[in-house]
Each structure stands twice: as C-alpha cells, then as structure tokens.
Structure 1
Amino acid sequence: MRDGTPCAGEFGQQLRDLRARSGMSQEALSDAAGVSVRALADMERGRTRGPQHRTVQALAEALGVDEAGAARLEQSAAAGRPRPRTATGPAGSGTLALPRDIQDFTARGDALARLAELVPDAGAGLPAVTVVAGQPGLGKTAFAVHAAHRLAPHFPDGQFALDLHGMDAEPTSPRDALARLLGAVGVADAAIPSGTDDRAGLWRSLAGERRLLLLLDNAAGEFQVEPLLPGTGASLTIVTSRQALAGLESVHRTDLALLRREETVELLSRIIGPDRVGAEAQAARDLADLCGHLPLAVRIAGQRLLSRPHERLGKLVARLATEARRLDGLQAGSLRVRAAFALSYRQLPPRSQTLLRRAALAAGTDFSPETGALLAGLTCDEAATCAEELTDAGLLQSDPTGERYRFHDLLRLYAAEQIDAEDGPEVRDAALDRTALWMLRRATAAALHFDVDHEQTASRSDPDPDPDTAPIGREEARAWLEAERAEWLAALRRAHDTGRHRQVLDAAQAMHWFSDLNQHWEQWVEVFRQSADSARALGSRQEEAVHLNYLAWAYNLCVHDPLAALTAADSALAAARECGDGLQQGWALGYGAGALHRLGRTEEAQQRLRDSARCLASQESPQGRLAELTTLNSLGTLLRQAGRAAEALEIHRRSERICQAGVPGRTIEVVGLYHAVARQQIGNDLAALGRWHEAEEPLRQALAAFDAAQMPAWSEQARLDLGRVLGATGHPEARTTLLAARDALVELRNPRQVEAAEALAALDADGARTA
C-alpha cells in the first residue's frame, strides 16, 4: 500500500477474506451476485486487473458488506482497472464505456422486451447477437445504448461500446477494432498479436470466459462485425447498422418501426415538457405527422423548440408544412435530418444514387422496378438490383408481398433535392416524359383487355411498349392497372398538360369499359375531364360528346355529384346534336335523367329517359342496343320508385327479352352482364309488388353474375337487394347478407350504405320484438 491507497493485487485478497468471513463458497457467491464462478476465481487469484463498478456492487451486496466495506472493495478494484490511455498508433486503444443513456428515451417497449429475452441464452453460455438495422433517423444507436444500460446488470464482467465508423470514408478495420477490445479487457499493447486472425482468436478466448455486453455501433458490413463476435461464453452483442447485414448467420434481428403518432407526441412531450405540448395538442400531432414519425426528426424539432422556450409549436408547424422548407426547418445545432440522409447517399454507387433520386419523381406512394427503370434510364433488372441495394441500406422500404418500394416522406424530399442539384430541369423533364409515354401506352393496352370493341389483341392500334413483359389476360391487366393507378393517371395528366391530346383520348377511350368495373374509383372524374378537354382542344365535337358523357357517368356514380353530372350531360347533348350523333344523344339524355333523379326531379328524369329510349331504338349498332338496355333498366327503376312497379316489371321483362335474343357483335359474357342488371331489377320489381319469394331467384342470379365478373360496385348493391328480400321472407341468411353488403358499401363509399344500415337495424328490431 502506497500513501494509504490499495494496490491492484489487494482486491483479490480482500474478496477472498470477505467471502471466507461470510461462509460462502464461490458457487454460492456466483449465484447470489450473478457473476460466473470462473470470473470469481480469476478475481481472487489476481488474474483480473479490476472488475467493473457494477460487478463490485453486486459482490458487496451478496456478501452483506456495509457501506464502508463496500467503498474499500470498490477502491481496491478501481486501483486495478486499466487507465484511459492516449490514442497512439493504429489501434487507437482507450476506454470503451457505454455512451450516456438518453433520459427522454420513448417507446420501443416490445423491441426492448424481445431483446431482454436473449439474456437467458447468454446466461446459459450461448453468445447472443442481435442486429439493429434500418433507415437513417430511426434511433438505432439510441435504442442500442438504452438497451445496453438496461441489460448491463446481467453482464458484470464488462460492457463495451465501439463505434465502427461505418459511414466514414475509411471505416474502422477489424484489426484495429480487435486491438481496442483486447485493450479493454486488460491485454497490454505489447501482448496484442499483430495479425487480425490472431487478435480475433485471442479475443474469442478471453471473451468466452466472461459475461460481456458488447455494443458494436454503426457497422459498415459483415466484414467488420464477424471477427468481433465471441464464439462461446455468456455474452450479448448488439450491432447497429444502416445496412441489413443479411450475411450474418444465427443472429436475432431487431426491427425498429417508425413511431406511432401517440409515441411521437410523447417523445416531443418528454423533450419540451408536457405543459407546452398540452397547450397546443393539435399542433403537436401535426408536428408529429410532418416529422413523418421519424425519431431523429422529432428530436431535432423538439431540441429546436427547447432552445426557443417562447416559440409556439404552431409556428414550427407552419414552417414545416411547406415541403420546400421542411428539411431546412428540421435542424437544431449540429443535428440535421438532411445530414443523416446525406451520409447514406454518399455511400451509394452512382447507379443506385440515380435510382434513389429519380424514384422521387414517381407519382404514387410506392413504385415498381419498371417505373424506377424508366425514370432512371436503367433496365428493369438493373433497377430491381439497385432497389434491393437501397432497401438493404435502409433508404427504401420494400412491400411485404409485391415487388414494390416506397420512401419515407422526408427521404423522398431529400431525394427530390438531389434531382435539382445533380440532374437539373432538362434531365428531370426528359425522365418524366419518357415514363409518361411508356406508362400511358401500357395503360391503354391493358385497359383494352376489357373493351368489347377490342376483344382480340390483334385489333389493337396502340400495342404495349414492351410485349415481352405485357400483362396477359384480364386478371394480369387488372392487377397492373390497379397497382400502377397513380402512375398512369399522372402520365395521362402530363400528356394532357404537354399537348399530347390524341394519346389522352385513346387512353381514356380504352378505359371506358374498365371504369365500369370500378365505379368506386373517384379518379374517373379526372380521367374523363381531361379527355373531354383534349377532345375540345382537337376540335372534335363527336369525341367531345363521347367523353362528356363518360364524365357525366363519373359524376353520377363515382363521386355522387348530380349537379356536375347534369352540366356535363347537357354539354354532351349539345355537342351530340351539333354533330348529329344519335347514339351519344341517347346516352346524354340517359345520364341527364340519372342526375335529375338524384336531384329529386323525378318527372323530368322520366321524360328524359323516354326520350332517350326513343332515340336509341332507331340505332342499329350493337352500341345502340346496349345503350337502349341501360336506358330501359333505368326507366323501369324510376317507375318502380314512383310506385308504378307493375309498369317497371313490364319494362324490365322487355330488357330481359332483348338480352335473351342476343346482341349481334357482342359476346355472351357482355350481354350476360346486361341480363344480370335486368334480373336484379326484375327481382326488385317483384319485391315491390309483395311477391317476395319470386324475387329471391332473379336477385341471386344477378349477384352471382356480378361476383363472377368481379364488379363489386354492382354486386354489393345486388347483395343489399337480396338481403332485404331474405329479411322479408324470414330467411336465416338475411342478417349475414345485409351485414356483408353494409360493410362492403361503406368501403366502396356508396350512398346505399345508409339503406343497408337501416335494413339491418330494422331486421334486428323485428327479431327483438319476436324474441
């Protein structure tokens, strides 16, 4: 002892004496303190230079040492611990203590619990490894540090944190990282082997004898991590990386999601205080949304507000609401969202950089490899490879089932900035034009699968731009049109805005029959508004009449705006009369009648339908026959609703006879759908006449036909009609049928959802009265 200070070697003797006085064996002390028997033996023999403070605390408590005795034991241990050394030489050796924990750490309870479940395996002598990967700003390091502090008591032989500098130009080499780890467990510089493999072997040997917690932060790749992982022993290693590190075998993976909105607000509250958040609760929720629920963005916003205690949350919300200013607003001192993204972007190969920034031009919330390829000027295979690379780097998120990718909102803004910085307006516009042209051609070709006038592929005037990858058959065509809805709609919009009006008309015309299968898509109003405007720009009154009629249909059935529908129908009627097109006059009268009916002008609606029927009866074309069937079915419906069910039944029987006779030039499938409409209306007519049992069969037939054709906007209304009839007859299927119809109509945003809810309530009320 020098100057009253214990020497390093005294700790082992002191520990042996305390254990002997307590009457505890090494095994008993091991169990009580949570320290391995091997570690205890090394301490008592002086092989350990100085155990960690937490280990000494655990030993003192297990031994029942008083406060003064515990202080003496800690002083002895501290004397034997390696002192921090100046970083000299390549090893850069020094202390590897855990970074300071974040006091306002929020959420992640499930992920922390799953990580804690790995501790029993580590206790059983099985080294556990977890990889925390994901996009920039998710709080991977903060999570790992917080988890390490929580789990530290389980690893009394040491907790080490090592930054691998994975985002630097020259990440830490495995050789240098091993030197620092060996120094941390007490190996003198002179005793550290020179070769990487020898260092790794020594590290595994030493780590295998200890209960260690190892935090390897910011890993560049598997090459850095693998040599540092203990092979045996009771250790837990937490690895953080922006890369997926998919090549690491037998590891646990901790997936951190974006915070939920309430968690985001909670984090903000912990940073700036609950009173300030409570005073502007809605602004706090809006701020959470503008930050995209990304922990880094929320922390930056919170730190900014914390440094400005008198600034209102609403002021920052107003600034961030403008996309062009959002990334500028998300910075506080050295913390910047843009900088976090830039670190990852600069690590990418040039081709992947191009895909990332150009993909920000995609129209939808997600994009396919073919869209990325068109925007970036790559092949589809190249784009898919780059997209997977970007997903592994945490810069894109992949769809769980399909080959599609999406951005975080803030990452999309960053990528869009890079377009301006690296590509410029000419390159950007060329990419958008190239993509729009290709998308519009494919959308047109895909939609023609549903057009009865183009049922044979050979008849198409505008073939698919890439026949080898074109959708085959209606199912594939439907899937493509649904998946790429935002993209082809943006292509249509760009074609219109750049004056390519013939392409707009061709695409919209091809969509006509497909739109009828998807009445619940509100964007049909925009499609046909654009096409009617393009027809006007080309000076074609006949095509203008056609597309104004389509627009009237969309206003009537897709967005339920009868006033706008009547205006479009009247304009279509004027254009059709001017060019002498009787077919379009008939359609315009019919669509106008539908709008008038919805406006409650029943007598005017009936008159227009009679005028439409007379106009169309003189048309000899297949299109004229189908239009006449539509008009007759609508007229019969109005008559039934006016209390004239017998007349309605007669008109709908007439429609049925036309369908049964067939329509030359139209397939059995197409005519079958018109027949199904007639059967549905016949069922409703019979129900209105109180002939409930007769009504059931035609309604079931109609429903089956619409279901087979995958026409939910039609089938769910027929399901509602059938449910009402079943309810009137006391059929046991009535309630389940009405319930299914109601839920589907709500999802389709169909106004008849109110009827379904009322019918269901009435059925339940009847059941309660008779119970």
Structure 2
Amino acid sequence: MRDGTPLTGDFGRRLRHLRTRAGLSQEALSHAAGVSVRALADMERGRTRGPQRRTVQVLAEALGLDDAEAADLEKSAAVGRPRPRTATGPAAPGTLALPRDIKDFTARGPALAALLELAQDTGPDRPGVSVVTGQPGLGKTAFAVHAAHRLAPHFPDGQFALDLHGMDPEPTTPRDALARLLGALGIADAAIPAGTDDRAGLWRSMTGDRRMLLLLDNAVDESQVGPLLPGAGPALTIVTSRHSLAGLESVHRTDLALLRREEAVELLTRIIGPERVRAEAQAARDLADLCGHLPLAVRIAGQRLLSRPHERLGKLVARLAAEGRRLDGLQAGSLRVRAAFALSYRQLPADTRTFLRRAALAAGADFSPETGALLAGLPYDDAVACAEELTDAGLLQSDAAAERYRFHDLLRLYAAEQVAIEDGTEIRDAALDRTTRWMLRRATAAALHFDVEHEGSPPGGAHDGDPEPHGDPDPDGAPAGREEARAWLEAERAQWLAALRRAHETGRHQQVLDTAQAMHWFSDINQHWEQWVEVFQRSAESARLLGSRRDEAIHLNYLAWSYNMCVHDPHNALTSADAALAAARDCGDGLQEGWALGYGAGALHRQGLVPQAQARLRAAADCLASQKSAQARLAELTILNSLGTLLRQAGQPVEALETHRRSERICRAGIPGRTDELIALYHAVARQQIGNDLAALERWSEAEPPLRQALAAFETAQMPAWAGPARLDLGHVLSALGHPEARVTLLAARDDLTGMRSPRQAEAAAALEALSASSALSASEETADAR
C-alpha cells in the first residue's frame, strides 16, 4: 500500500484519490492533461478500466506523480486492459479487397472533394487519416467504400478494407486486426510476431514507403484504431465509426450530415427510376421527409418500392405517415432502420440507454440535460455525461451554441418504442409526472422575476389540500435575475407548456393556476407567443373545476387578453370577456368586472364597433373608480389609456389628450403599495398616448419628447412588445418633422413588429414607403431648382 490506495487494480479509485489529493477538479485535471472530462468521469466510475499507456502517462504528469507512483498507476491500468484473443491465423494475401461500390451512390460531393484533396496531399512524411463519423443510417460505410474506389488510382501499392466489428459484443482486437493486415501484405503466419506492439511495429515498417489506401470500417474506439495506422509514408487511411473518436490526433474529419430533401429525392430516383418519381413528384418529396432524409431509410423505402414495381409511392407514404407504423414500414429484406438503431443502443451502458429512451418523452424539437436528467431519474452531472456519450456515439445531435440536444425523427420513434418495451406505462407516467412537477415549479419561479406586483409569496399562497411545494426546485441552479429567467423560459417553452398540459390533464389544477398567474406579466413582454391562448384556456378551465368563480374571472380575463393581443381574434376575445364579466359579477369582484369590461371593449373595437367599445370603456372606468384598492388604480390607468386611444382614433384628439393627461396625473400622484418601477411603466404608456394625441393635433414638436421618454422606459424594462409600437409612433412624428433619424427609426420598428407578427408591421412598411417617396420628391425638386 502507498498513501492508502492499492498499488494495482481498481484504476478508477486510485485515479480519483490522486486527483483529490492534488486538489484538482475533473475539469482542472482535464485541462492539465488534455483528456476530456467525460473520459475522466468514465475512468473514475470504472466504465473505462484500462486506458491506454499514453493516457496514463499524461495523467501522471498532470498529477505531479513521482516515477514510482506513475508506475503504480500504469500497473493498475494494465490490469483492466483487455487480453488479446487467440489469433485464428491471418488471411491469405489479397483477401482484404475493397467491397463492391454502390452504383446509385448519391450526393456527398464536398466531402468527397475534401478526401481527394487529402489524398493528393499525402507524402513520405505525411500519411493521411480521415475519420468518417455520424449517426446510424447516414451511410458512413457506403461513403467510405465509394470514396475508396474513387481514390484507388492514387494508391497503386494496394487498397485494403477491414471490418473492425465495432458494434459486435466482441470487436476485433488490434492484435487480430494486425494479423489480418500483415497477412494481406503476404507475411506468412509463422513470421507474424506474437505481441500486439511487435505486430504494429512490423506493420509500420512494411507500410512506411507504400502508397496504399486502408479502409478501417466500423471502429469502436481510439485504442482499437491507433495500432493499425501507418506511422509514416504516403498512405491514406479512412476510418468509419459511429463514435467520434475524438482522441485521434492530427486527423481529417468527415462528419456526415443528413441528406438535403432534393438529395434524398435524387437517391430515391436512382433506385426506382425517374419515371415513377416524375409520376408522383409530391409523394416522392413526402416520402423523403418521412424518412427524415436519412440515407438508410430512403434506401430501404426505395428497395421496397423497387421490389413492387406496380405499387404507388403514395401508398407507402400513407403507411409511413402513421408514426406507430413508420419503423415497421422501413424494412426491406435484411435492411431495417430499427436494426441499425438497435445495434448502437445495445452497446450503451444501462444509464445511458435509460437516458436515451426517456429523452424521447421530452417535448419540443430539442431538450436540455436538465430535462433528460428528470426523465431518466439521474443526477444532473450523470445526465450531462450520458448526453455527451450519446453525441459521441452519433445518437444525439448537440446544439452548436447551447447545451441542448436533439434526436433524428426516426431515432426518437425508436427510443419511444424502447420506453414502451423496457419501462412500461407506470414508469413512463412517473417520469413524466416528476418532470412536470419540477418544470412547473421552475417556470413559476422564473416567471415571477417579471411580476412587478409580486410581494415574495407564492402566487397562489398556501393552498389547503395542495401538497405541492412552492419556490424553485433547485435554488442553487435557478435563473438569477430577469435575463437568465427569460432565457430559461424561452429555451424551455415547449417543455413547461407540455408540463402545464399534463398537470391540467392529471388534475393538478392548483399548480396550473399558480403557473398561469405567475406568467401574467411575462406574457405581456412576449405578446407574440400564440401559446398564451392555450395557457389561459387551461388555467380558466382549472379554476372552473376547482369551483373558484373569482379565479375563473381572473383567468378568463387573461384569456380575453390573449385572444385580443396574441392571436388577434376579437370574436373569441369578446366571448371570453363576457364570460369573465359574468363570473366577476357572480362573486362580486369589482376589479375583475372592470377588467372584463375593458377587454370586451378592446374586442368590440377590433370588430369596428366603436360606439359600443367606448360605452364599455366608460363603464369600466366608472366601475374601477369606485374601487379603493391599488390594483383598481392600476386597472383604471389601463382603461383610461385605452379610452383615450379610442377617442383619438374616433377623431376626438382633444378629449383623448384630456383623458391621457388624467391618467398621467394619477401616475404622478403615485399609488400606495406599488413600486416606482411599476408606476414608471404605466406613466410610459400614458406618455406614449399623449405623444400620439399631440401628433393627431399636428403638434409635432411637442409630440416627440413624450414618445422618446416612453420608448426609453420600455427598452429599460426590456419589454419589446411595448417598445415596437412606441418606436413606430415616434417614427411617424420624426417623419413629419423631417428628422434625419426618421428612416432608421421606422426600419427598426418594422423589423420589431415583423418579428412579433404584429398587425402594425404593414403600417410600418407603408410609413417607410411614404418616407422614401417624400425623399425622392424632395430630391427631384432640389434638382429642378438647381437647374
């Protein structure tokens, strides 16, 4: 024993002890040794029991070990290294010929060109190595074989291909692979050395001056490939693997991507012939889409159609359109998409298999490790390691900028199948419920960063009979501040919305109400999100099922707002507002009655019913003026601003200005119990409308300052849904003044409003056209005057 750890064996425990003794985190040791964090984690957890000698050496140097300790560490690694299998004897010379090329090979032009350039760059001191990686079904072997045939004339000293059986339970060992390669070069069985290192040395010496091409197909890892690579000379080696083989240094990489749609249709055309594709062009495109543009899937579909020359493409499209039958439909003879995925799936450790299949339950196009951890029931760090392992294995694609991952559509279907087979309904539902509870607690806490009325208590208070805890489920990892909260809510939009659906469908109605209530102010900032209609439909229904008429009135009002502002549907907005009005009157809630009248007025105005809208707004103002609460004062401000706007649009700008000045006076007086930040927002709205009233009276110079003040306030509060319209209003005034900032202001407004799908984007475009026409006319007049 030395410092409490064994001299040999249990490499992972010894490495972890030495790292801890040195005071290094995995990240720090990774940086010092040049070994990935995932590889270190695998070593310490015992997943990698016998790393390569070179890896052990760099770890020993980074840990500052003396010679004796380094030797001990190497001994413990050697114990875990796989023993070579007994050789079955080398193949006869020439038996490692390239497989047959595929005549209908399609696309991959840039990748082929890059390989040709690499082949031309090889020389006596520059052996080339290209690693071809990608997810199952991308056609890595087909690409490598096709490339090898194309490149064969450049390598007159021979072309050899060896399948390393990386997906088999026992992949080919380097020792056995070297025996086959040496045999292919004509070395007699008796002359082949016994040890792997000696065989590798003989292989390198024999290939040092040969211009030869070597295809190593289906590699499992770097330790399998490393001894097979020529050390010098003008050789080119093409390695294919489902794993990234990131540990191979100084190599050219070909990361195959999915085919483009037109390339997938071209492949289908080459298989079944142009006549059938021309006859059903749209069905051919639909078929390519249903295959996810995955070469293996397109080939299988094509081979199936080729074997049935009278079958219409549309028939296969109809069959594959049903997700539950798609993988069954994608098989032709021995070619099966499901089998290709299963090969990789079976190679994964148990936790990683769990992570992969449960991740298929995530909502949306991509997911975070956080979501994967919840669904799989794994610690976050383990989930990150699983996600990276799956990325390296080509089973997930990682986002280029964020820590998020996505499936290929067909692989997601396969993973979902495994959930049904291996987990069953009970475990699946438990995973979804666990994720739902966590996601809604995080979403509620994140949304409250934007609730300027929030006093620090849970949105719904303490609820009798509701055991759900409040607050963020992971305070240490919670978003800090508005920017992080906004980023999380936007990135996880699909996930927390799916959680809200599940909570509603499984009867967790109080949690639905709490989350929707917390989202109230955040929804104002993101009015262009159409899903607010669903959020408030579900919360209003949950309130009804809980028997709370007051909550029903609140959430029906939110629903009326979302119909008005998010999807521009005044008919449903009016229906919801009328239902909110009835609920508010039933429970005697004057505040919600005032809001319902106001939202109904907005819907009537959008339907062109201006007198009726004005009447409702006046009734709303009277109702709210009789209420004493601070919330009623805020509601009154909103109603007054809306009434003034309607008066201005009805050709009554003087009365509109008077109404908005009244709103501004309330803001200046302040509202007890409400923050300056909140009052500043309402004051900004009043200033915006005062600026518009002055513009309607053609008092342009007076209109500019309040509009600039309003825009600045909205930008400071990070409320783009409010800043966009204010910028457009300012642009109109600047145009009328002939201000040099007019054009850039209108351009920015148009872009903002277009991004939010606001109906006012057309108004911004028209203002820009008018400004351009005016500028052109002025230039023409100046030219005429100059003449």
Please indicate, yes or no, whether the TM-score normalized by the shorter chain is above 0.5: yes
Establish whether residue 91 from structure 1 lines up as the match of residue 99 from structure 2: no
Determine the structure 1 residue equivalent to 2:495. Answer: 487
Establish whether residue 144 from structure 1 lines up as the match of residue 144 from structure 2: yes
2:542 maps to amino acid = S
Determine the structure 1 residue equivalent to 2:210. Answer: 210
Establish whether residue 521 from structure 1 lines up as the match of residue 535 from structure 2: no
1:245 maps to amino acid = L
2:482 maps to amino acid = R
Quote the offset at 1:674 in angstroms. 1.2
Quote the offset at 1:618 in angstroms. 1.6
Q: How does 1:110-189 map to 2 (within 5 A)?
A: 110-123=110-123, 125-189=125-189
Between the aligned partners of 1:278 and 1:722, the Cα distance in structure 2 is: 54
Between the aligned partners of 2:262 and 2:752, the Cα distance in structure 1 is: 30
Quote the offset at 1:259 in angstroms. 1.2
Determine the structure 1 residue equivalent to 2:684. Answer: 676
Between the aligned partners of 2:778 and 2:127, the Cα distance in structure 1 is: 67
Unmatched tracts of structure 2, length 5 or more: 1-86, 463-469, 780-787
Contact map agreement 2:89 2:189 (CA 8 A) in 1? no
Q: Deviations over 1:47-87 (max 9, x none)?
A: xxxxxxxxxxxxxxxxxxxxxxxxxxxxxxxxxxxxxxxxx
Between the aligned partners of 1:107 and 1:258, the Cα distance in structure 2 is: 11
Quote the offset at 1:734 in angstroms. 2.0
1:597 maps to amino acid = H
Quote the offset at 1:246 in angstroms. 0.9
From 726, 735, 740, give the equivalent of 1:727.
735
Between the aligned partners of 1:157 and 1:739, the Cα distance in structure 2 is: 64
Q: How does 1:333-732 map to 2 (within 5 A)?
A: 333-456=333-456, 462-732=470-740
2:450 maps to amino acid = F
Quote the offset at 1:458 in angstroms. 8.8
Quote the offset at 1:555 in angstroms. 0.5
Between the aligned partners of 1:196 and 1:292, the Cα distance in structure 2 is: 43
Q: Deviations over 1:667-720 (max 9, x none)?
A: 111111111111111121121111222222222222222222221211111122
Determine the structure 1 residue equivalent to 2:744. Answer: 736
Q: Deviations over 1:139-178 (max 9, x none)?
A: 1111111211222221111111111110111111111111
Contact map agreement 2:594 2:624 (CA 8 A) in 1? yes
What count of residue pairs does the alignment treat as equivalent? Answer: 685
1:463 maps to amino acid = G
1:533 maps to amino acid = E
Quote the offset at 1:740 in angstroms. 2.1
Quote the offset at 1:525 in angstroms. 0.6
Q: Deviations over 1:605-657 (max 9, x none)?
A: 11111111111112221211111111111111111111111211111122122
2:400 maps to amino acid = P
Contact map agreement 2:292 2:408 (CA 8 A) in 1? yes
Contact map agreement 1:448 1:455 (CA 8 A) in 2? no
Q: Secondary structure at the match of 2:227?
A: helix
Q: Secondary structure at the match of 1:131?
A: strand
Contact map agreement 2:91 2:184 (CA 8 A) in 1? no
Quote the offset at 1:730 in angstroms. 2.0
Taking a change above 3 Å as real, the CA distance of residues 352 and 724 of structure 1, as seen in their structure-2 partners, is same
Quote the offset at 1:318 in angstroms. 0.9
Between the aligned partners of 2:645 and 2:286, the Cα distance in structure 1 is: 47
Contact map agreement 2:288 2:298 (CA 8 A) in 1? yes
Between the aligned partners of 1:279 and 1:537, the Cα distance in structure 2 is: 54
Does 445-454 or 360-369 show the bigger shift? 445-454
Contact map agreement 2:536 2:556 (CA 8 A) in 1? yes
Between the aligned partners of 1:718 and 1:454, the Cα distance in structure 2 is: 26
2:616 maps to amino acid = R
Determine the structure 2 residue equivalent to 1:45. Answer: none
Does 537-546 or 612-621 show the bigger shift? 612-621
Quote the offset at 1:457 in angstroms. 6.9
Between the aligned partners of 2:222 and 2:582, the Cα distance in structure 1 is: 71
Between the aligned partners of 2:738 and 2:453, the Cα distance in structure 1 is: 45
Q: Deviations over 1:331-368 (max 9, x none)?
A: 11111100000000000011111111111111121111
Determine the structure 2 residue equivalent to 1:308. Answer: 308
Q: Secondary structure at the match of 1:206?
A: helix
With structure 1 as the length reference, what TM-score do the two structures score?
0.87
Q: Secondary structure at the match of 1:588?
A: helix
Contact map agreement 1:125 1:235 (CA 8 A) in 2? no
Between the aligned partners of 1:296 and 1:373, the Cα distance in structure 2 is: 31
Q: Secondary structure at the match of 2:161?
A: strand
Contact map agreement 1:134 1:140 (CA 8 A) in 2? yes
2:372 maps to amino acid = G
Does 313-322 or 94-103 show the bigger shift? 94-103
Q: Secondary structure at the match of 1:440?
A: helix
2:673 maps to amino acid = G
Q: How does 1:37-52 map to 2 (within 5 A)?
A: none
2:531 maps to amino acid = Q
Contact map agreement 2:91 2:183 (CA 8 A) in 1? no
Q: CA RMSD in A?
A: 1.6
Between the aligned partners of 1:277 and 1:737, the Cα distance in structure 2 is: 50
Identical counterparts, % of pairs: 79
Between the aligned partners of 2:90 and 2:680, the Cα distance in structure 1 is: 80
Quote the offset at 1:526 in angstroms. 0.6
Contact map agreement 1:449 1:455 (CA 8 A) in 2? no
Quote the offset at 1:491 in angstroms. 1.1
Q: Secondary structure at the match of 2:95?
A: coil
Determine the structure 1 residue equivalent to 2:65. Answer: none
Between the aligned partners of 2:347 and 2:91, the Cα distance in structure 1 is: 24
Q: How does 1:270-309 map to 2 (within 5 A)?
A: 270-309=270-309
Q: Secondary structure at the match of 1:454?
A: coil
Between the aligned partners of 2:740 and 2:154, the Cα distance in structure 1 is: 61
Quote the offset at 1:521 in angstroms. 0.9
Taking a change above 3 Å as real, the CA distance of residues 207 and 124 of structure 1, as seen in their structure-2 partners, is closer
Between the aligned partners of 1:389 and 1:434, the Cα distance in structure 2 is: 24
Between the aligned partners of 1:554 and 1:635, the Cα distance in structure 2 is: 19
Q: Secondary structure at the match of 2:710?
A: helix
Unmatched tracts of structure 1, length 5 or more: 1-87
Between the aligned partners of 1:218 and 1:520, the Cα distance in structure 2 is: 48
2:634 maps to amino acid = L
Between the aligned partners of 1:238 and 1:702, the Cα distance in structure 2 is: 63
Determine the structure 1 residue equivalent to 2:244. Answer: 244
Determine the structure 2 residue equivalent to 1:191. Answer: 191
Between the aligned partners of 1:565 and 1:626, the Cα distance in structure 2 is: 21
Quote the offset at 1:92 in angstroms. 4.2
Establish whether residue 109 from structure 1 lines up as the match of residue 109 from structure 2: yes
Quote the offset at 1:765 in angstroms. 2.2
Does 119-128 or 372-381 show the bigger shift? 119-128
1:592 maps to amino acid = G
Does 553-562 or 371-380 show the bigger shift? 371-380
Between the aligned partners of 1:704 and 1:140, the Cα distance in structure 2 is: 55
Between the aligned partners of 2:318 and 2:392, the Cα distance in structure 1 is: 34
Between the aligned partners of 1:305 and 1:145, the Cα distance in structure 2 is: 25
Does 245-254 or 582-591 show the bigger shift? 245-254
Q: Deviations over 1:236-279 (max 9, x none)?
A: 11110001111111111111111111211122122222222122
Determine the structure 2 residue equivalent to 1:75. Answer: none
Between the aligned partners of 2:697 and 2:154, the Cα distance in structure 1 is: 79
2:584 maps to amino acid = A
Does 342-351 or 203-212 show the bigger shift? 203-212
Contact map agreement 2:157 2:211 (CA 8 A) in 1? yes
Contact map agreement 2:124 2:209 (CA 8 A) in 1? no
Q: Secondary structure at the match of 1:452?
A: coil
Quote the offset at 1:737 in angstroms. 2.0
Q: Secondary structure at the match of 1:104?
A: coil
2:776 maps to amino acid = A
Determine the structure 2 residue equivalent to 1:55. Answer: none
